[in-house]
């Protein structure tokens, strides 16, 4: 197996406490130890959260209550632990805002050693606009003030608007220093405007009278003296629209793949740099990671195709292959890349919690000054926006974490993360033998079962063979 990996992001340099500095460039790093998953060589560690129907952690399970399947086949569990990261049980306010008295911690949890809780705050400044970041920033500062405990260790990292990865010099308990850095972070003021302008350009190409489509009615029937010429012109416009949608979608795909690479490179760098035992939590704040990058552009094209004549569609097959269903080969879906990112994060023992910074759902075309308006229904516009959140949800659920989106309750999101990372089970096993020529990027699926009724089990869904 080739143990050399080239990373495109990389090195953090600590110049003083409370500062961040990153150097970018391709740096080849040689691994000196065999591939690991967690603390032991060739051991797969799986963090598991088990909650009852009231959302409370179930503390009285033993190794006999669990079963793990890898690729559908049961494995022999060789490691089991119940881990505690809070001194007290999390207390949630009731629906009327009252805070109940603190519950007594179950004996199983009270007897578990209190461990350091390592948390990485990853702010995706490239895909997040300043107004959206401001809303989350207030809630994050509140979280640092109210929920950070003496056993917590936090590290701040951000992907800047010019796509540089800045990483804090160390895990720290210095909340004031973290808050100062958080309040100085810069996010991307152009991300939403560029998306809006791209839509405008595509709409202009497809609908502007200067494109000589005024001689064709909405049913695609000729009302001029040259029907054949009108059809040829309309087909040409559809082909141009398909090409432009591909360009915009491809650009967005490349940006998202860079973001995913930044996130996994960050996790790898931290794993190599810091001797951090046990599980690690990453909280990712982002304006969105689309599962189908550029889907809004294809929706616009699809709406225009609905108005085109049958003859024009036949003459423009490239455009006609762009329905909302995103049929291959033109789809820009990144399912494989998302799964690979999940596999690498799990391999490095990270649980990811994602917060969609856009908060509440918005329409795709809010600006009343737009000259060209889409024919997209509000429902289709919502689907295009929802797609920006699907990638974040895939990442978090695949690593055993939670996704928070379509809500402006960012304060509640951080509080839920604090509760969710208070306790967990850790199961370990030796993976089955692999063939010498096994693909190192193969994703091995994991399923965790518990022989207890009326509980909710959440765990990472797999890992890749190496990183």
CA 220-204-215 angle, to 5 degrees, is 30
Does 451 map to a domain?
Answer: yes
Does 436 map to a domain?
Answer: yes
What pLDDT was estimated at residue 371? 39
Domain that includes residue 39, residue range: 33-115+422-467
Does 178 map to a domain?
Answer: no
Give the span between the Cα atoms of 309 and 33, in whole angstroms. 63
Does 73 map to a domain?
Answer: yes
Question: pLDDT digit of tens for each residue in the chain (467 aa)?
Answer: 333 333 333 334 332 334 454 433 322 233 333 333 443 347 888 999 999 998 889 999 999 999 999 999 999 999 999 999 988 877 665 555 554 555 678 888 888 999 999 999 999 999 999 999 998 999 999 999 999 999 999 999 999 999 999 999 999 999 999 999 999 999 999 998 998 899 999 999 988 755 544 344 444 444 445 556 677 888 888 888 888 988 999 999 999 999 999 999 999 999 888 877 777 899 999 998 988 888 888 888 888 887 777 777 677 766 666 554 444 444 567 888 999 999 999 988 899 999 999 865 333 333 333 333 334 444 545 665 677 788 899 999 999 999 998 777 899 899 999 999 999 999 999 988 877 777 777 889 999 999 999 999 999 999 887 63
Does 64 map to a domain?
Answer: yes
What pLDDT was estimated at residue 17? 37
What pLDDT was estimated at residue 438? 77
What pLDDT was estimated at residue 1? 37
**What are the percentages of helix, strand and coil residues in the chain, rounded to 5?**
35, 20, 45
What pLDDT was estimated at residue 192? 87
Residue 353: name the closest of 21, 18, 47 by CA: 47
Residue 166: name the closest of 8, 6, 24 by CA: 24
Number of domains observed in the structure of the chain: 1
Give the span between the Cα atoms of 464 and 467, in whole angstroms. 7
Residue position matching structure tokens 């023992």: 349
Does 17 map to a domain?
Answer: no
What pLDDT was estimated at residue 384? 59
When computed from its CA atoms, the radius of gyration of the chain, rounded to whole angstroms, is 25
Residue 458: name the closest of 400, 399, 396, 413 by CA: 400
Give the span between the Cα atoms of 259 and 163, in whole angstroms. 8
Does 279 map to a domain?
Answer: no
Does 136 map to a domain?
Answer: no
What pLDDT was estimated at residue 310? 75
Model-level pTM? 0.80
What pLDDT was estimated at residue 297? 87
What pLDDT was estimated at residue 306? 78
**Which DSSP string corresponds to 63-109?**
GGGEEEEETTEE--EEEEEEEE--SS------TTS--PPPPPPPHHH
Task: Please name the residue ranges forming H helices in 274-333.
Answer: 295-305, 310-315, 317-320
């Amino acid at each position: 197996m080739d143990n050399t990996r080239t990373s495109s992001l990389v090195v953090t340099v600590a110049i003083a406490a409370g500062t961040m500095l990153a150097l970018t460039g391709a740096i080849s790093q040689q691994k000196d130890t065999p591939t690991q998953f967690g603390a032991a060589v060739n051991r797969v560690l799986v963090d598991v959260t088990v909650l009852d129907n009231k959302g409370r952690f179930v503390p009285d399970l033993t190794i006999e209550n669990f079963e793990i399947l890898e690729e559908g086949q049961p494995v022999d569990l060789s490691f089991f632990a119940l881990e505690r990261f809070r001194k007290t049980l999390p207390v949630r306010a009731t629906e009327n805002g009252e805070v109940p008295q603190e519950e007594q911690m179950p004996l199983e949890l009270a007897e578990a050693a209190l461990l350091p809780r390592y948390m990485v705050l990853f702010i995706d400044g490239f895909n997040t606009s300043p107004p959206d970041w401001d809303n989350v920033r207030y809630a994050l500062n509140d979280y640092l003030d109210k929920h950070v405990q003496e056993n917590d260790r936090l590290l701040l990292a951000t992907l800047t608007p010019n796509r540089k990865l800045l990483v804090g010099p160390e895990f720290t308990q210095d909340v004031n220093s973290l808050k100062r850095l958080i309040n100085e972070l810069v996010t991307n003021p152009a991300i939403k405007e560029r998306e809006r302008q791209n839509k405008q350009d595509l709409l202009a190409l497809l609908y502007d009278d200067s494109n000589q489509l005024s001689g064709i009615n909405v049913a695609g029937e000729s009302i001029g003296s040259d029907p054949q010429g009108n059809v040829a012109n309309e087909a040409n416009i559809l082909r141009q629209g398909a090409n432009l949608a591909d360009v915009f979608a491809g650009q967005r795909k490349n940006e998202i793949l860079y973001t995913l690479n930044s996130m996994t490179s960050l996790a790898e760098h931290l794993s190599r740099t810091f001797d951090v035992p046990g599980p690690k939590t990453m909280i990712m704040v982002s304006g969105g990671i689309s599962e189908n990058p550029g889907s809004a552009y294809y929706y616009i094209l699809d709406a225009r195709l609905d108005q085109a004549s049958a003859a024009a569609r036949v003459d423009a097959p490239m455009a006609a292959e762009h329905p909302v269903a995103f049929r291959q080969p033109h789809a820009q879906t990144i399912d494989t890349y998302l799964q690979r990112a999940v596999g690498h994060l799990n391999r490095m023992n990270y649980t990811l919690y994602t917060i969609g910074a856009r908060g509440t759902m918005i329409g795709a075309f809010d600006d009343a000054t737009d000259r060209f308006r889409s024919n997209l229904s509000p429902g289709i516009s919502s689907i295009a926006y929802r797609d920006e959140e699907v990638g974040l949800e895939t990442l978090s659920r695949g690593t055993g974490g939670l996704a928070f989106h379509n809500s402006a309750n960012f304060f509640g999101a951080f509080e839920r993360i604090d509760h969710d990372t208070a306790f967990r089970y850790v199961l370990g096993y030796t993976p089955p033998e692999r063939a010498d020529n096994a693909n190192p990027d193969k994703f091995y699926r994991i399923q965790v079962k518990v022989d207890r009724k009326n509980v909710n089990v959440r765990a990472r869904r797999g890992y890749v063979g190496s990183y």
